[in-house]
A and B are shown apart, each in its own frame.
Chain A
Amino acid sequence: MRIIGKSVNREDAYEKVTGKAPFTDDLSFAGMLYAKVKRSSFPHAKLLRVDTSKAKALTGVHDIATSNEIPGKNLVHVVIDDQPLLADGLVKYIGEPIAVVAAETPEIAEEACELIDVEYDELPAILDPLKSRGEDSVKIYGEDNIFAHHKIRKGDIEQGFEQADIILENTYRTPYQEHAYLETQGMVAVPRFGGAIDIHGSMQCPFYVQQTVSDILGLSLNKVRVIQMRTGGAFGGKEDVPSLVGGQAALSAYRTQRPVKLIYTREEDIISMSKRHPGWIRYKTGMTREGELTAVEIEFIFDSGAYSTLSSIVLWRGIVHSVGPYNVPNVKVDAYAVATNKVPCGAFRGFGSPQVIFAGETQMNELADKLGMDPVDLRRKNILRVGDRTATGQLLDHSVGIGKTLEAACGKADWMRKKEEYSKDTGETRRGIGLSTIFYGVGLGAGGKHLAKTGAYVQVLKDCTVQFAVGTTEMGQGMRTVLTQIVAEQLGVSYRQVFMMETDTSRVPDSGPTVASRATVMSGNALIEACKPIKQTMLKTAAKLLNSRPEYLEFSGEEIMLQKEPKAKVAVTQVIEECHNNNENMASEGWFVAPTTSWNAELGQGKAYFAYSWATNVAEVEVDTKTYEVKVLSITAAHDMGKAINPTQVEGQIEGGSLQGMGYGLMEEVLTENGRIINPNFSTYIIPTALDTPEVVPLIVEEPFEDGPYGAKGFGEQPLMGIAPAVTAAISDAIGVKLHELPATPERIMDALKRKGEGK
Chain B
Amino acid sequence: MMLPKINYIKVNTLTEAYDAINQCLGELSILAGETDLLIELRKKDLDTHQNILDISNINLLKEIKENGELIKIGSLVTHTQLAESPILKKHAALLAQAASMIGSLQIRNRGTIGGNICNASPCADTVPPLVALDAEVTLSSIDGERVLPVADFIKGPYKTARKSDEILTCISFKKLPEGCRSHFIKLGRRNALSIARLQVAVVGMLDNTGNICYIKLAPGSSMPTPTRLHEVEKMLINEKPTSDLFVEAGERTAQIMIEKTGIRWSTEYKKPVLAALVRRGLEKVFKKTTNHGDTETQSR
Contacts and interface: CB of A to CB of B under 8 A. Distances in A.
A107 B193 CA distance: 29
5 contacts: A628-B273, A682-B193, A683-B193, A683-B195, A689-B191
Interface in B269-296: 269, 272-273, 276-277, 280
Contacts of A690: 192
A688 B189 CA distance: 9
Contacts of B276: 626-627
Given A682-B193, A690-B192, 15 more contacts: A110-B2, A265-B1, A626-B272, A627-B187, A689-B190, A689-B192, A691-B190, A691-B191, A691-B299, A692-B190, A692-B191, A746-B269, A747-B268, A750-B269, A750-B272
Report the 4 A-B pairs with minimum CB-CB distance, sorted nearest first: A691-B191, A626-B276, A689-B192, A691-B192
Interface string A621-661: 00000111101000000000000000000000000000000
Interface in A731-760: 745-747, 750
B269 A747 contact: yes
Chain B at the A interface: SS class:
loop
Contacts of A631: 300
A667 B268 CA distance: 19
A692 B192 CA distance: 8
B269 A629 contact: no
Contacts of B280: 626
A550 interface: no
A744 to B, nearest CB: 12
A48 to B, nearest CB: 28
A106 interface: yes
A115 interface: no
Interface in B88-121: 104
A667 B189 CA distance: 7
Given A690-B192, A691-B190, A691-B191, A629 B2 contact: no
Nearest to A36: B2
Contacts of A691: 190-192, 299
Given A106-B2, A629-B300, A691-B299, A667 B272 contact: no
A107 B190 CA distance: 35
B273 A667 contact: no
A686 interface: yes
Interface string A673-695: 00000000011001011111000
A667 B1 CA distance: 28
B277 A627 contact: yes
Contact of B190 (A110, A265, A628, A667): A667
Contacts of B193: 682-683, 689
Of the listed residues B104, B190, B268, B272, the one surrounded by the most CB atoms of chain A closer than 10 A to its CB is: B190
Of the listed residues A627, A745, A746, the one surrounded by the most CB atoms of chain B closer than 10 A to its CB is: A627
Interface residues of B, number: 19
B276 to A, nearest CB: 4
Nearest to A663: B190
Contacts of B189: 667, 686, 745
Contacts of B273: 626-628, 746
Contacts of B299: 691
Nearest to A690: B192
Nearest to B277: A627
Contacts of B300: 629, 631
Of the listed residues B187, B191, B195, B277, the one surrounded by the most CB atoms of chain A closer than 10 A to its CB is: B191
Contacts of A746: 269, 273
Interface string B177-210: 0000000000101111101000000000000000
Nearest to A114: B44
A746 B266 CA distance: 11
Contacts of A627: 187, 273, 276-277
Contacts of B190: 667, 686, 688-689, 691-692
A692 B299 CA distance: 10
Contacts of A689: 104, 190-193
Contacts of A745: 189
Contacts of A682: 193
Interface in A62-101: none
A110 B4 CA distance: 11
Nearest to B273: A627
A688 B193 CA distance: 10
A193 B78 CA distance: 56
A107 B300 CA distance: 41
Contacts of A628: 269, 273
A750 to B, nearest CB: 6
Nearest to A625: B276
A756 B190 CA distance: 26
Nearest to A667: B189
Contacts of B192: 689-692
Interface in A143-189: none
A682 B39 CA distance: 13
B44 to A, nearest CB: 9
A150 B180 CA distance: 67
A524 B190 CA distance: 40
A100 to B, nearest CB: 17
Contacts of A667: 189-190
B116 to A, nearest CB: 16
Nearest to A748: B269
A19 B276 CA distance: 45
Interface string B243-284: 000000000000000000000000011001100110010000
Contacts of A107: 2
Nearest to A684: B195
A631 B195 CA distance: 18
Contacts of B269: 628, 746-747, 750
B185 to A, nearest CB: 10
Interface string B1-19: 1100000000000000000
Interface in A260-291: 265
Contacts of B272: 626, 750
Nearest to A627: B273
A668 to B, nearest CB: 10
A662 to B, nearest CB: 11
Interface string B193-231: 101000000000000000000000000000000000000
Contacts of A686: 189-190
A686 B191 CA distance: 11
Of the listed residues B2, B268, B280, the one surrounded by the most CB atoms of chain A closer than 10 A to its CB is: B2
A589 B156 CA distance: 69
Nearest to A109: B2
A626 B273 CA distance: 6
A110 B269 CA distance: 41
Nearest to B188: A686
Nearest to A746: B269
B42 to A, nearest CB: 9
A739 to B, nearest CB: 16
B87 to A, nearest CB: 27
Nearest to B39: A683
Contacts of B191: 689, 691-692
Nearest to B4: A107
A750 B277 CA distance: 16
Interface in A89-146: 106-107, 110
Nearest to A754: B268
A692 B191 CA distance: 6
A384 B190 CA distance: 38
A629 B2 CA distance: 38
A57 to B, nearest CB: 20
B190 to A, nearest CB: 5
Contacts of B195: 683
Contacts of B277: 627
A689 B272 CA distance: 27
